[in-house]
Amino acid sequence: MSEFFISLRYLLPSVVVFLTAWFILKEFFKEQARNRQLQLLEDKQKISLPVRLQAYERIVLFLERISPGNLVMRSHKGGLNVKQFQQLLVQTIRDEYDHNLSQQLYLSIDAWEMVKSAKEEMIRQINISAGKHDEKAPSAELSKTLLEMSIDKLATRKALDYVKTEARKLL
């Protein structure tokens, strides 16, 4: 029995030292892994943040360009009738949208849905406004109707506010 206690006297401190070293090394390696993950996340943010902000900038520009005032001013050409101008406006919106389609990768799902809704609502408003006029009437009548739309109720304004708020959260 005395040999057992002598062995235990040597074995017990070595087990305690082993367990202590094992615990300390385990915590050290956990901390190292956590630091590596944080470093990778930070590096990823450094790369992706400018790209995401650029996507938000492009979407803000898109929404500004399809708002009635800007859209009418940029697209208005003399000599068009209401029907031709309606088609031009709708095509302009669709072209702008198609040009910015890839930006949905960088926006949240909610923000992209707001952008899509704004586009569809603008097309709908153009079609409704055009329906109020004779097809052969001068395009100035459609322009006037679109410019008289209430700024507060515009889907583009709501989407723009939402996208700006979301972009600010990135900073």
Size of the chain in residues: 171
pLDDT number for residue 170: 84
Among candidates 63, 84, 62, which has minimal Cα distance to 140?
Answer: 84
Q: What is the pLDDT of residues 124-137, one digit of tens each?
A: 999 999 999 999 99
pLDDT number for residue 154: 82
Q: Is residue 47 over pLDDT 70?
A: yes
What is the pLDDT averaged over residues 135-163?
86
- Entry pTM: 0.74
| Average pLDDT score, the chain | 90
Band of residue 45 on the pLDDT scale cut at 50, 70, 90: confident
Q: Is residue 6 over pLDDT 90?
A: no
How much of the chain is helix, strand and coil, in % rounded to 5? 85, 0, 15
pLDDT number for residue 116: 96
What is the pLDDT averaged over residues 40-61?
89
Alpha carbons 106 and 59: distance in angstroms, whole number: 10
- Report the percentage of the chain scoring pLDDT > 70: 97
Band of residue 94 on the pLDDT scale cut at 50, 70, 90: very high
Band of residue 8 on the pLDDT scale cut at 50, 70, 90: confident
Q: Where do the structural domains in the chain lie, given as residue ranges?
A: 49-170
What is the pLDDT averaged over residues 91-114?
95
Give Dmax (Cα) for the chain: 114
Q: Is residue 167 over pLDDT 70?
A: yes
